[in-house]
Amino acid sequence: MVRPLGPRGSFARMVLNRRDAAVIHFDNVTKGYKNQNRPALQHVNVAIEKGEFLFLVGPSGSGKSTFLRLILKEERPSQGHVHVAGKDLSKLSNWKVPHLRRRIGCVFQDFRLLPNKNVFENVAFALEVIGKPRRFINKVVPEVIDLVGLEGKAHRMPDELSGGEQQRVAIARAFVNRPMILLADEPTGNIDPATSIGIMKVLDRINRTGTTVVMATHDAAIVDAFRKRVVELEDGRVVRDQSRGVYGQAY
């Protein structure tokens, strides 16, 4: 069936084109949790282009984590639509969600490594569980371990590594499947400022390969130093969206 093209037809096509170009697109998204009066996100409109590096800033409880969880379809919006890679997540059936997540890498403040596996095994785990063959794993994992700067530490256990090194392992695991998007939820939150710079260099390196990076952070120094796009959330609303921005004067 062909939909009649009204006067709004050309406008709709324009929006569609923009959505196609954007790798992540929040279309008037509101997200409320049960038993909470104030929604975690309210009428959020953000489009993130392919290859962009975006800082998501704002105080605790401003909705940064909800923003990231919506991209992963760990939550669904109460209103509005989230598009990832041109696909509306609300139309994505549950059994296809794993395929979405294979194209998104994730890094967290608390690293989330498996304590009983060494560096190589931790990174390889991400490929094993999506059924990649052994030969491929043996080829790719050392490359990524080198990329994040852990040469020669493949057989260390996580508790033998420093916090910065553990986060590098987590980044390697997130990136080993060459995702389209890398989400980082306060990746430097548990790490001292000097080591954080090293982590940021790794993320920047990953961004240069064409991967879109979305990083939620509290770290003003890093945001100010990098001069990338900054989206600021406050009480679930976007209060600032600046390319080449800083953390903000208020802090």
Answer yes or no whether residue 101 interacts with another protein by CB under 8 A. Answer: yes
Number of residues that bind another protein (CB under 8 A): 27
Q: How far is the CB of 177 from another protein (least distance, A)?
A: 7
Torsions phi, psi for 49 (to 5 deg): -80, 160
**Residue from 23, 29, 68, 100 in contact with another protein (CB under 8 A):** 100
- Per-residue tokens: 127: 């490929």
Per DSSP, the residues of 147-203 read HTT-TT-TT--GGGS-HHHHHHHHHHHHHTT--SEEEEESTTTTS-HHHHHHHHHHH
Spatial contact of 176 and 126, defined as CB atoms under 8 Å apart: yes
The window from 32-40, 129-137, 191-199, 223-231 that contacts another protein (CB under 8 A) reads 129-137
Answer yes or no whether residue 114 interacts with another protein by CB under 8 A. Answer: yes
Answer yes or no whether residue 168 interacts with another protein by CB under 8 A. Answer: no
Please give the Cα distance from 130 to 133 (Å, whole number). Answer: 9
Answer yes or no whether residue 76 interacts with another protein by CB under 8 A. Answer: no
The window from 12-20, 104-112, 207-215, 217-225 that contacts another protein (CB under 8 A) reads 104-112
Strands 22-31 and 79-84: what pairing?
A: antiparallel
Q: Which of residues 175-214 bind another protein (CB under 8 A)?
A: 177
The window from 8-16, 98-106, 159-167, 215-223 that contacts another protein (CB under 8 A) reads 98-106
Q: How far is the CB of 133 from another protein (least distance, A)?
A: 8
131 or 152, CB closer to another protein? Answer: 131
Answer yes or no whether residue 60 interacts with another protein by CB under 8 A. Answer: no
9 or 98, CB closer to another protein? Answer: 98
The window from 11-19, 20-28, 99-107, 199-207 that contacts another protein (CB under 8 A) reads 99-107
Please give the Cα distance from 217 to 231 (Å, whole number). Answer: 11
CB neighbour list of residue 2: distance below 8 Å, 6 or more residues apart? none
Nearest to 68 by CA among 107, 99, 18, 15: 107
35 or 94, CB closer to another protein? Answer: 94
Residue 27: CA count within 13 A, CB half-sphere = 18
Q: Name residue 214's amino acid.
A: V
**Residue from 119, 126, 172, 223 in contact with another protein (CB under 8 A):** 126
Answer yes or no whether residue 110 interacts with another protein by CB under 8 A. Answer: no
Using CB under 8 A, list all residues that contact another protein. Answer: 72-73, 94-95, 97-106, 112, 114, 125-126, 128-131, 133-134, 173-174, 177
